[in-house]
Amino acid sequence: MTREQAINHLKTVAKSAIDSGYDSAVVDAVYMAKEALEQEPCEDAISKAEVIKLIDKHTNDDGTLDDDITCILEKLPPIQPKVKVGHWIPTYGNVKCSVCGNVKDSRNVGKATHYCDFCGAKMQEVEK
């Protein structure tokens, strides 16, 4: 499912939930998810570790910076945030996330759980 398809699906679900008289908390949750998807993806992320290294490099002995913080941060190259990718590992009637080890009832896995609820890893095919 693409981002746009997910947004359109959430709009449909929200309208259906309102029409069906669902609790307002459910409708609010659907709208929050839709709004989160509508946000622009982050394309100018910077590495926390690189920020710390660069600030340490530009910190004088007395704790002051030798340049304006904006000028220092502009020297950092942007990075693409890494997407965690994993798969479900069958374990005694449940499944376990290969990234974080979170265990989930396997009856829920058939319902298109494409992401780990705990760590957010994108799930690929179930390991055979």
DSSP letter at 88?
E
Structural tokens at position 62: 């007395």
Rounded mean pLDDT, 103-118: 68
Place of tokens 């020297």: 75
Please, are residues 99 and 121 in contact by the beta-carbon 8 Å criterion? yes
The residue with greater pLDDT, 103 or 21, is 103
- So what's the pLDDT on residue 127? 46
Q: Which of 34-38, 88-92, 117-121 has the highest mean pLDDT?
A: 88-92
In 1-128, which ranges are E strands? Answer: 85-86, 88-91, 94-97, 103-105, 122-123
- So what's the pLDDT on residue 43? 63
Cα angle: 100, vertex 28, 18; to 5 degrees = 125
- Decide if pLDDT at 60 tops 60: yes
How would residue 126 be classed by pLDDT, with cut points 50, 70 and 90? low
Phi, psi of 98 (to 5 degrees): -70, -15
- Decide if pLDDT at 33 tops 50: yes
- Decide if pLDDT at 105 tops 60: yes
Rounded mean pLDDT, 65-80: 77
Q: Does the predicted model carry a pTM greater than 0.75?
A: no
